[in-house]
Structure 1
Amino acid sequence: MTDKDGSELAQVADESKKPSKKARSFDVEALFSESRQIAQERNRETLESREVEEAETRRRLEDEMHISLPGPSGRHSDEDNEIGPPLPPSMMKSADSANDSDDEIGPPLPPNFQMPTASSSGASTSKDVEDSGLDDEDDYDDFTDEGISVAQLIPTASEATVRHGSKSVSAIAFDSQGSKFVTGGYDYHVNLYDFARMDVSLKPFRETTPVECHIISSLAYSSNGENLVVASGNAQVRLLDRKGTQWAETVRGDQYLVDLSNTKGHTGSLNGAMWNPMNKDEFMTCSDDGTLRLFNVTDYKDITKCINTQRQVIKTKTSNGKRAIPTTCCYSKDGKYIAAGCDDGSIQIWKYGKLYVNTTFLNRNAHAGSITSLQFSYEANTVLTRGLDDTLKLWDLRKFKEPIHVADGLENHYPMTECGFSPRDELVFTGTSTRPGKAPGKLVFFDLINFKPVYQIEYPNASCIRAQWHPKINQILVGLSDGTAKIYYDPVRSVRGVLQCVSKPIKRERQTEVLREEIIMSPLALQMFQPRGEEGEEKDVTEWRIKKFLRMQNTTGGKRPAFKKPAEAPMSGPSAGGRVAASGGTLHSYIAQQVGVKRNREFLADHDVRASILRHAEEAAANPIYVAKAYLKNQPVPIFQEKTTAPEDEIVDEELQPVFKMPKT
């Protein structure tokens, strides 16, 4: 073997010892297909188990009632796994297609589903809905890969009711992770809920009144869920922590200044508030003073306990240059735009970070009335607006002069009626209001492509004011005018959220057995107030005194503890022990009192008080002591009348009498 061959063999041996490191490659399509197949199998197993349970229930009912229940087609068959009345003809096709297709998943439509019946220009009638093919699921295959209809994408299979109060729910908010939500209403209260803490009773963990005597107009969580901003009828914004405790507020502006940019806070009622989706420390508010203000929590001062200034002031103006009141405001999903809807029906949009003097997008005649809600889509190219003119409009920023779609006939009576997009921008939704004795309030869903109503939920004798669809947990929170909030979810497609609560039973409060003994104790009966014996020794050596002595000995280094001096008994007899009793308690005080009373009685018994005073005049003139001695040289001699009362036998001269004492003639 040559040296060359030996070196080659050594090199091969060294390479064999080295560990082989190769980059792993993943087939994304294969992973998606595998996940889809696993989900389909899991849903198929769930449906099969549900069918088996229904078949067992049906057989049990037949055995108990001794009858044969009809199947879905109206035939009496023992092999049918379904129970209940026969399906209507309009649903037979969808039921057959559901049995034939294994790829279709999801529960059936909820029992409160009703097709739209409005005949206005913005809503189609039931005949139009049938003609448009809403029952045919093949028309909506473009939305999902599995051919699920648009109505099945809405998580309304189940609902949970949360009781807020007796008045309308005017504000709701989810946190970014969907673990908490909050409600505010016309009753000035804000209730905070945590899904992890709640049970099936759905009670809040905190009820607070951040702003007394002011309606809660808007609520919003920060992106990290640590702070909650509260906008109300007051000019100051309240900031709460995750426990619901207020830790900061904004400063109140000076309402007497003409230029609103010179003030450091709002001067009018707040209409809306929202956090920056890209900055957890910045939030925006709009007010009746005609401004939008950007605040930052880093400007908080511990001395004043408030945010003393704002970062930016944005003024909304009408076509005449006058003040326009912004009724709603929002950020785009990517934080690039700031939009405001005003009371004159205009939409004003600014580019974030630039000078907010001129608008980037502007439409003066967007609505015929005030705008109640304004939302950007997740793609940030379209804007959805809701107005008091009973319309819902969709706008494209690239063609902002005219709306893309318009829905009419949506009754609206609340200045904070909300609208929004579905998580994948397939649907838009909004709420409608009602009046006593008229059509019920509704939560209506529209197709984004053709703006046709595809689903609606009715609320008898209640208006739908607020509605939010959380994209992560796939649940819808709705605030109603009867003081309740509804949470809609799908047991299959929704995750976490209210699903954690509805399965938890109510915790039974354990009653702790406490033996309570009523003891009436006088303070003078305590051991520390007991009298001492001779030479400082206690008469009775009790267990309490021994323990106290040992404790004091360990802490004072062996010194004897100084027990408290017993309290002195209240004095009821004569003066004693250096204490003086009331007047008359001693002989000296009694004599002094009698002498003073006698002199006073003699002074009051004198009829001529002036004469009793003047009898000391001679002594005062002979020995002046006070004021008269300082003015002896320049003071005149006083002349006093010697006698003020006439004797009884003396004849009174009527000419010398005053006029009011002379008798009338």
Structure 2
Amino acid sequence: MDDNAFSAEDADSMRAYMPTSFGKQNASVDVQAQIENHRRKIVDESKPPPKIKSADSDDESSAEDDDDSDEDDEDEFPVSHELMVKTHQRAVTSITLDPSGTRLVTGSTDCTIKLHDLSAMTPTTIRAFKTVDPFVTKASEASESHAIHQVLFSPHSGNQMLVITATAQARLFSRDGEMIAEYKKGDMYLRDKNNTKGHTAEITSAAWCPTNRNLFVTAAHDSTVRIWDVNDRLQQKHVMVHKSKAAGSAGMTRMTAIAWGHAAEGQGSIIVAAGFDGSLVMWGGEGPFYRPIGEIREAHAKDTWTSGLDISNDGRLVITRGGDDTIKLWDTRKFKAPVNTTSFPSTSSQYPTSNIIFSPGSANVVTGSETGHLHILNPATLRPELITPVTPGSPLISVHWHPKIKQICTGSANGQTTILFNPQMSTNGALSVLSKAPKKRHMDDDPNLTTFMDPTGIAGDAVTPGGVPGPTAGSFSSRHPTIGLTASGRSRDPRRPHKPEQTPFAMSTPDQRHVRENIPFSSMRDEDPVEALLKYQPKEGEEKLFTGAWDKTQPKAIFKEDFSDEEEPDPKRMKKG
């Protein structure tokens, strides 16, 4: 045997000596301890607290059984742990996740939507990576702003999301926040709503088709429900005009909520919409759309806002949350009277997008309350199976239960987004965030301890030769344009003067220098017109250049020209004479 042969023991020694990867390595992190730090103190307020055993009690087996039963109750729903995300300054009105559960998007009354990448977050970088204003495009700045009513990822593909604002136009965005299409607005002066090519009033709610990835439906204040094709932004595909039969409505009412789900027994799909007149209307998802297949005139109280509406997975049940402080369960096969009703305080008067949904598998009903609690109800009895505080004192507006990662996302009136999960049953999502090592904070991450200097020694951005401000090479402010600025947009460096924001109108208005240099005779507007004319008056002995012809052609006056030296005639004497 050759003494120089490379043995297996040598290979193991070499492997232990050589590094497995290059670059600076993070210290090992205790993932279990990091997850345990996010355990919630109170999980269920609907059940009494566990009894405290005395120290001299010998019934240890019964205590262990009680602990096991409590843990089983907690593991039934993914609410044992929480991850808080504070991004919006106002109420979070809508929340959605893509089908894979990695892209979280929230909408708010601050007129913006925020995009979060759960797969890229770390415990110290829990924030949105992009903020989108639906009314700002690459070609122009925002001329108006409206609250976000609803944000919906397509259930078939995570590449598209529907954004509903307080306008008559729906907008389609990519998963990266780029606007793909803005759908047509109808002519508000046409009386017949069937002849308009889009909504003529504010859209309140929308839903994706469960069977066709290219279709979605919208409901609006113009008493219509419209089906759209994502590839045709110039006109809707179908129009359903809801003719209200309520007294004093003149046949029109505002549509407040809508849902599109599978029909019972696998027979296509159904569309269910709620109206401000208290009605609940159902159409077949494949048509014809001339008349509804079911209608309940007094499903909820008249002139109350039904904010929540959802259809079960099997298409047999419909759950509604009305503005009359009730939650009602309906059977689509006997669409006449509610199967069950329970009292539940409404928040639709202040937050009209407060929703209610079925859990994955339709085993439970989930909604939020005005006290900031999450309620998980039994659909058969509508009694609470779990009541857990999320944002106590701040109403819980929107809820979303993702079927793949098994986590519940909530949005509250204080602008907080909360992700509830359970390490035993949940996957990815918040768990992937807490499974990473915290990112070490750099001094540049704190704007109070950082001064940004350009090559000329002046803090902030440099000015290019063309006069357009641009970031300096390698400056930190080019990578983080908002760091180093106050809330009003002023620089934190006192040596840098405040640059006023240029409005869209000012961008299209020429300045004084441009007018003086490029428009001929523009300086004449600053002259006195009397002096400008008198400079052309000829001096004594000079020929009149402009008015010389008048001396030859001007007729002689036959009336007196000046009556200043004579007394004015008395009109009374002239009448007597």
TM range (shorter): 0.5 to 0.7
Q: Which residue of 2 aligns with 1:96?
A: 65
- TM-fit CA distance, 1:656: 10
**What amino acid is aligned across from residue 491 of structure 1 in structure 2?**
P
Q: Measure, in 2, the Cα distance between the counterparts of 1:519 and 1:261.
A: 65
CA contact (8 A) 2:356 2:367 kept: yes
Q: Measure, in 1, the Cα distance between the counterparts of 2:336 and 2:538.
A: 103
Q: Which residue of 2 aligns with 1:441?
A: 372
Q: Which residue of 1 aligns with 2:456?
A: 518
Q: Measure, in 1, the Cα distance between the counterparts of 2:147 and 2:130.
A: 18
Q: Which residue of 1 aligns with 2:97?
A: 174
* Residues 475-502 of structure 1 deviation map (CA, whole Å, 9 limit, x = unaligned): 0011111111111001110011121112
Kindly indicate whether residue 351 of structure 2 is the aligned counterpart of residue 422 of structure 1. Answer: no
**1:118-517 paired onto structure 2 within 5 Å:** 149=73, 152-200=75-123, 201-211=125-135, 212-222=144-154, 223-299=156-232, 307-319=233-245, 322-333=251-262, 336-368=269-301, 369-413=304-348, 414-433=351-370, 440-458=371-389, 459-504=391-436, 505-506=438-439, 508-509=441-442, 517=455
Q: Which residue of 2 aligns with 1:129?
A: none
CA contact (8 A) 1:294 1:311 kept: yes
**What amino acid is aligned across from residue 441 of structure 1 in structure 2?**
G
| Structure (1 or 2) with the larger CA radius of gyration | 1
Larger relative contact order, structure 1 or 2 (CA cutoff 8 Å, min sep 6): 2
CA contact (8 A) 2:220 2:254 kept: yes
**1:52-63 paired onto structure 2 within 5 Å:** none
Q: Which residue of 1 aligns with 2:572?
A: none
The secondary structure found in structure 2 opposite 1:657 is coil
**What amino acid is aligned across from residue 326 of structure 1 in structure 2?**
M
> Alpha carbons of 1:161 and 1:639: their partners in 2 closer, same or farther (altered >3 Å)?
closer
Q: Measure, in 1, the Cα distance between the counterparts of 2:557 and 2:419.
A: 103
CA contact (8 A) 1:167 1:483 kept: yes
Give the alignment's Cα RMSD to 1 decimal.
Answer: 3.8
* Residues 185-224 of structure 1 deviation map (CA, whole Å, 9 limit, x = unaligned): 1111111112122222321111011144311111111121
**What amino acid is aligned across from residue 193 of structure 1 in structure 2?**
H
> Alpha carbons of 1:73 and 1:281: their partners in 2 closer, same or farther (altered >3 Å)?
same
**What amino acid is aligned across from residue 311 of structure 1 in structure 2?**
K
Q: Measure, in 2, the Cα distance between the counterparts of 1:463 and 1:209.
A: 25
**1:554-565 paired onto structure 2 within 5 Å:** none
> Alpha carbons of 1:265 and 1:154: their partners in 2 closer, same or farther (altered >3 Å)?
same
CA contact (8 A) 2:75 2:422 kept: no
- TM-fit CA distance, 1:660: 6.1
> Alpha carbons of 1:378 and 1:510: their partners in 2 closer, same or farther (altered >3 Å)?
same
Q: Which residue of 2 aligns with 1:525?
A: none
Matched length: 415
> Alpha carbons of 1:658 and 1:332: their partners in 2 closer, same or farther (altered >3 Å)?
same
> Alpha carbons of 1:657 and 1:422: their partners in 2 closer, same or farther (altered >3 Å)?
closer
- TM-fit CA distance, 1:379: 1.3
* Residues 150-208 of structure 1 deviation map (CA, whole Å, 9 limit, x = unaligned): x5321001001111322111111122221212111111111111212222232111101
CA contact (8 A) 2:75 2:424 kept: no
- TM-fit CA distance, 1:281: 1.7
* Residues 581-600 of structure 1 deviation map (CA, whole Å, 9 limit, x = unaligned): xxxxxxxxxxxxxxxx9x99
**What amino acid is aligned across from residue 96 of structure 1 in structure 2?**
D
- TM-fit CA distance, 1:460: 2.1
- TM-fit CA distance, 1:92: 8.0
Q: Measure, in 1, the Cα distance between the counterparts of 2:387 and 2:368.
A: 10
> Alpha carbons of 1:507 and 1:188: their partners in 2 closer, same or farther (altered >3 Å)?
farther
Q: Measure, in 1, the Cα distance between the counterparts of 2:63 and 2:324.
A: 38
The percent of aligned pairs where both chains have the same amino acid is 30
**What amino acid is aligned across from residue 254 of structure 2 in structure 1?**
I
- TM-fit CA distance, 1:422: 1.7
Q: Measure, in 2, the Cα distance between the counterparts of 1:232 and 1:394.
A: 28
**What amino acid is aligned across from residue 95 of structure 2 in structure 1?**
I
> Alpha carbons of 1:73 and 1:481: their partners in 2 closer, same or farther (altered >3 Å)?
same
Q: Measure, in 2, the Cα distance between the counterparts of 1:362 and 1:92.
A: 57
> Alpha carbons of 1:430 and 1:94: their partners in 2 closer, same or farther (altered >3 Å)?
farther
**What amino acid is aligned across from residue 146 of structure 2 in structure 1?**
H
CA contact (8 A) 1:198 1:204 kept: no
Q: Which residue of 2 aligns with 1:42?
A: none
- TM-fit CA distance, 1:395: 1.1
Contiguous gaps of at least 5 residues in structure 1: 1-48, 54-71, 77-85, 110-147, 300-306, 434-439, 521-596, 604-611, 618-623, 646-654
Q: Measure, in 1, the Cα distance between the counterparts of 2:548 and 2:89.
A: 83
> Alpha carbons of 1:363 and 1:95: their partners in 2 closer, same or farther (altered >3 Å)?
farther
TM-score of the two chains, using structure 1 as the length reference = 0.56
TM-score of the two chains, using structure 2 as the length reference = 0.64
The secondary structure found in structure 2 opposite 1:457 is strand
Q: Which residue of 1 aligns with 2:497?
A: none
CA contact (8 A) 1:327 1:340 kept: yes
CA contact (8 A) 1:316 1:325 kept: no
Q: Measure, in 2, the Cα distance between the counterparts of 1:396 and 1:329.
A: 16
* Residues 577-620 of structure 1 deviation map (CA, whole Å, 9 limit, x = unaligned): xxxxxxxxxxxxxxxxxxxx9x99974xxxxxxxx79xx89xxx
Q: Measure, in 1, the Cα distance between the counterparts of 2:380 and 2:323.
A: 24
* Residues 6-59 of structure 1 deviation map (CA, whole Å, 9 limit, x = unaligned): xxxxxxxxxxxxxxxxxxxxxxxxxxxxxxxxxxxxxxxxxxx99xx9xxxxxx
